[in-house]
Amino acid sequence: MSGKLFIISGPSGAGKSSLCTALLQACPNLQLSISCTTRKPRPGEEDGREYHFLDTQTFEQQQKAGKFLESALVHGNYYGTRQSDVEQLLKQGKDVLLEIDWQGAKQVAEKIPSAVRIFILPPSIEALKARLISRGQDDAQVIEKRIAAAEDEMSHAHEAHHQIVNDDFNPALSQLVQLVQD
């Protein structure tokens, strides 16, 4: 039996990570596929748990070798999902969750058309900026880059099968759980 693939996308600060963490707790058969990145770990992050942290040369070598189901350059760093990681989980009958940007979601959907695409939206750009500032993980220049990119990213929300506005966490989570369990 093969599992289902769910892709969650949305701009930085929309609440994707928090929603995905809660979704994984609510859905025991759902397994997060750990992406690779060339960005530096944030405080508290561990290699192999939040991401596989790779240097740029290693990432580019794997990318050229066709090892990624999707990959993208986002905010100056590479991100990608190893195809073998996803295929192994699906073959085990696990439902797989990818938390990736819209560019990656589009690449995966082209290769795996049965993937369910879900886009998480903030209630507004102002709310998004407030969330990015309050999380205290990025400096002002990085936050401004993320805000500038957010509007472009949100223009791709219609490409997903479902859009969820994360204005209030619990109702957004309920919508997400329902989509995964259907």
Backbone angles phi, psi at 78, to 5 degrees: -85, 145
- pLDDT given at position 65: 96
Q: Tell whether the model's pLDDT for residue 137 goes beyond 80.
A: no
**Strand partners of residue 95:** 30
Give residue limits of the domains in the chain: 5-181
Both tokens assigned to 65: 């070798």
Domain range 5-181, CATH architecture: 3-Layer(aba) Sandwich (3.40)
pLDDT for 53-90, tens place per residue? 999 999 999 999 999 999 988 779 999 999 999 999 99
Average pLDDT over residues 78-104: 92
What amino acid is encoded at 146 in this protein?
A: R
Average pLDDT over residues 128-153: 83
pLDDT for 120-133, tens place per residue? 999 988 888 887 78
